[in-house]
Amino acid sequence: MAVILPRTVRRAAEAALSLHSVPPRAACHFARSLGGVSSACSMEFVSWQNGGGILHRAASVDPTAVVEAGAVVHSGAVLGKEVVVGSGAVVGPSVSIGQSTRVGYNVVLSNCSVGEFCIIHNGSSIGQDGFGFFVDEAGQVKKKPQMLCARIGDHVEIGANTCIDRGSWRETTVGNHTKIDNLVQIGHNVVIGKCCMICGQVGIAGSATYV
């Protein structure tokens, strides 16, 4: 059965194929599985030559960076020299990752920046909404806006399955050379200084300062 496409769609498809894009059906299915990206948007994702991962055409990725198969890098993201993004990881829109940082398997980065020479172990999540709610006059529980970012300094190591929330009234910050163990929860608006050591299963409540 023949399918007739509008000229603009046809040109977009041809351009994507010329950049070694993934097949449209596969790109659509993969992008949707990562957060409801439409089939039209899926045409904007192309395969990366170093590792076989998928990049948005508007991402800025250094030629030495490796994005492994099954990983995806979204629009506006910036990956520096010798960055490695492991299989299953997601680098969200406008996220920046500094030189020589290694991102483990199934890590999710959104609404954040990560400095140089960092290690983020498998399954960690950085930049998701913090736990912020209030009860309105009608007794309904409402979500407080979580609009700011999380900032991770240089030479930081973050253990497996650790979560660091984005800020609401100030940015969540982790200072240079800080080391964080597995299974740590860092709430929104937390400020952690330089050279701190945080052991496994620690929880730091929102808006705390730890230096």
Quote the tokens at residue 96.
């920046």
Contact 192, 175 (CB under 8 A): yes
Which of 56, 74, 155, 188 is labelled catalytic?
Answer: 188
d(CA 160, CA 110): 17
Per DSSP bridges, beta strands 54-56 and 45-47 are antiparallel
Residue 188 catalytic? yes
| Largest distance between two CA atoms of the chain | 65
Nearest to 182 by CA among 159, 156, 157, 158: 159
Quote the tokens at residue 38.
């439409």
Question: Which residue do the tokens 């039209």 mark?
Answer: 40
d(CA 165, CA 149): 8
Kind and range of the H or E run holding 149: none
User: Could you count the other beta carbons within 10 Å of the beta carbon of residue 104?
Assistant: 20
d(CA 68, CA 105): 9
Q: Which residues are catalytic?
A: 188
